[in-house]
Structure 1
Amino acid sequence: MNVSGQDISQTLEFRSTTAIVRLLPTGLLLIFLGLLIYALVDLDREPWTIVGIVLCWVLGAGLVAVTLWRRSNPGKPLFTLSPAGIHYRIPFVKEVLIPWREIQAIGTIDVEATYWSFFQFGNVATRNLMILRDVTVVLLSKSFYDQRIFVDSPILRGPGWSANFIPKGSQVQMALHHELVSVEPKALREAVEARWLAFRDTPAAGPARTSVPSVVSSVVSSVTASPGTPSVAKAIMAPTAPKPDVVAMGENPRAISRWDTVKITALLIGIAVVLTNLTGLWQMPGQAQERQARAEKSAKAREQQKYWAETIKRQKEESKKLEAEARERQERFEQDMRRTFGR
């Protein structure tokens, strides 16, 4: 949906649901890779590969579960644009309202972000640099950032904090990542900038008004004084509040593109093919002999382990028996010595 054509009085909600749902092929790919490695690798010869296999299965199944759940449960917005300001949510930590008057400028920058990849190019963990292009940022004062946004705990801040809050001298740039909410970067900036220009001069809201205007009070008094008109009095004293105009932005998370459909279908077929191979419904040339040799090797290893376990058990029993005999001989010797010298 194009946000640039929206009425600035509307409240726009931006969720990361679509970006999460689009990770379904990634989860299926991890499951497929785990099954493929399990089918091809000899675990007796390379037992350390079981770590990568289990990681692929666990991460893939978890990712598939999250994406399917998110399709029907969109969750809370990541950030919201309204006449009051930007309602920004830091997941699992806090939610902050940033009034438009606190924003000093709007800009577009390229953001450097780092991420970790595991078991790549022979390394257990590799740190990589990623450039996020055309990211909309709002410029805040350092004092407002420290008082309202900053989180003391590095664990709660998480590894992505530096990609969302970028220092700039005495100011801080807060990034609104368009890729996370599945909108075009230009449209997002136009929506933010239009509301900032319209509402940045809005003064801070004062204390709530508690007094009732005299005209309304007199009308309510006259109505309540007349018998048989309680419903009219209730209607005047409790008017219905107007429903806010809220628009959910971004692509529909339930819509699947043709390319995603092709990827999901291909991966499901691949998973089914590998599973049928593991169950023995079909085998590649030479795979039957290899599996037979692997089974014989495993059986021989189990027999050897059983032999050594029985040998160790027998040696322990013999050792206990020898110790018992030695103690018995020692006791008889001590008794003979006491009888001999006791005379």
Structure 2
Amino acid sequence: MNVIVEDIDRTLEYRSDAVMVRLLPSGLLLIFLGLLIHVLSYPAPIGTMIAVALCTAFGICLVSLALWRRIHHGRPLFRLSPDGIDYRIPWLKALHIPWSEIRGIDTIDVEARYWSFWDFRYGFQIIPDRKVVNYPNVTVVLVSKQFYDRRIGVSPLLLPGPGWRANFIPKDGLVQVALHHDLVSVEPRPFREAVEARWMAFRDRPGNTSVPAVAVGQGNAAAASRPAVRRAAPGTAAVAMGANPKAMSRWQVVASSVLLIGIAILLANIAGLWDLPGQNEVREARTKAQTEQKVWADSIKRNREESRRLEAEQKELRRQLDEDMRRMFAR
């Protein structure tokens, strides 16, 4: 959903609900793969069955999380109001950046590096590999190092990792605060325009301590030459990604539908409603083997019970014999 940039008095909230809902196809894919492995490998060794169970359970967790987030919406990650930007770092802190503290706005490509023990080509690796992830066209607002240290920075004991460095990037004595549009499922250009229009309108509002603006990139010059923006009624609000976002693309909807059909077909196979070529013979052999195993187990159980019964009878006979011998010698 692209909110009209000119309504700058509106408070815009950008949420991650749509990103969470997009986990639905991934969860369905894991469930489908788990059931498919079960059908193709049945009867399977215990190790394969454990892998199938883990794959299916993880898929069910993802589907449950996606559906839960679709109904119960989370708090916004970014909030643009006439007072500034409210920036929430999940599980860590929430901060407020007044428009007057912003020195400039730019669009950059953010690069994050992290260590990983997993590679999709080779699987688990004993020696970790340094990965590089690129995030293109990310809107950043520049704040002073003093403001960053006073309002944003965290204690070294919290050990900010690569995720922190992908959101707060030092540059020439300033700090670039990244507003990742991918996290809130909006296009980069309208997102930057929404931020930039409010900065241009509210950075010199009465009551704010104005700071020198730093021209970064060509976007600021273009924004300065724009005509006066249309002002909405004060106090109105809009949710950029809110209660009913268009979370999934058409391709994802089609993929989810196909996976649901595939899961239903596999469940019907597991229930015995249809069989793969030769699968019926395998099932019959499996059933026969289980029946024979049960008969053998019952036979062993009966033999053990009979053996215990005979042993008890022999013990009782020996006791009676001993008792008769004592009576005879007592006479």
Residue 273 of structure 1 corresponds to 265
- Give matches, 1:1-343, under 5 Å: 1-41=1-41, 45=45, 47-113=46-112, 120-124=120-124, 128-152=131-155, 160-202=163-205, 244-250=235-241, 252-253=244-245, 257-291=249-283
Displacement after TM superposition at 1:199 (Å)? 1.7
Which piece of structure 1 moves more, 250-259 or 16-25?
A: 250-259
**Which consecutive residues of structure 1, in runs of 5 or more, have no partner in the other structure?**
207-241, 308-343
What is the CA–CA distance in structure 1 between the aligned matches of 2:198 and 2:247, rounded to whole Å?
A: 29
What is the CA–CA distance in structure 1 between the aligned matches of 2:26 and 2:5, rounded to whole Å?
A: 34
Which piece of structure 1 moves more, 278-287 or 1-10?
A: 1-10
Deviation track 1:176-224 (CA, whole Å, cap 9, x = no partner) reads: 1112212211111111111112222236569xxxxxxxxxxxxxxxxxx
**Which consecutive residues of structure 2, in runs of 5 or more, have no partner in the other structure?**
210-232, 301-331
Which piece of structure 1 moves more, 175-184 or 253-262?
A: 253-262
TM-score (normalizing by structure 2): 0.69
Which amino acid is 1:130 matched to?
V
Bigger RCO of structures 1 and 2 (CA < 8 A, at least 6 apart): 2
TM-score (normalizing by structure 1): 0.67
Deviation track 1:131-180 (CA, whole Å, cap 9, x = no partner) reads: 22111111122232232222337768566323222233432221111122
Displacement after TM superposition at 1:296 (Å)? 7.1
What is the CA–CA distance in structure 2 between the aligned matches of 1:170 and 1:300, rounded to whole Å?
A: 79
Contact kept, 8 Å, 2:85 with 2:96, in 1: the verdict is yes
Contact kept, 8 Å, 1:11 with 1:83, in 2: the verdict is yes
Q: Secondary structure at the match of 1:180?
A: helix
Judged with a 3 Å threshold, the aligned counterparts in structure 2 of structure 1 residues 170 and 292 are, in CA distance, closer, same or farther, namely farther
Greater Rg by CA? 1
Q: Secondary structure at the match of 1:39?
A: helix
Contact kept, 8 Å, 1:142 with 1:171, in 2: the verdict is yes
Which amino acid is 2:239 matched to?
A
RMSD: 3.6
Q: Secondary structure at the match of 2:170?
A: strand
Judged with a 3 Å threshold, the aligned counterparts in structure 2 of structure 1 residues 279 and 168 are, in CA distance, closer, same or farther, namely same
Q: Quick one: percent identity of the two aligned structures?
A: 51
Judged with a 3 Å threshold, the aligned counterparts in structure 2 of structure 1 residues 273 and 106 are, in CA distance, closer, same or farther, namely same
Displacement after TM superposition at 1:83 (Å)? 1.1
Residue 325 of structure 2 corresponds to none
Which amino acid is 2:41 matched to?
V
Residue 224 of structure 1 corresponds to none
Residue 310 of structure 1 corresponds to none
Contact kept, 8 Å, 1:4 with 1:188, in 2: the verdict is no
Displaced runs of 4 or more, over 4 A:
42-45, 114-119, 125-128, 153-159, 203-206, 254-257, 291-304
Displacement after TM superposition at 1:249 (Å)? 0.7
What is the CA–CA distance in structure 1 between the aligned matches of 2:95 and 2:143, rounded to whole Å?
A: 13
Which amino acid is 1:248 matched to?
V
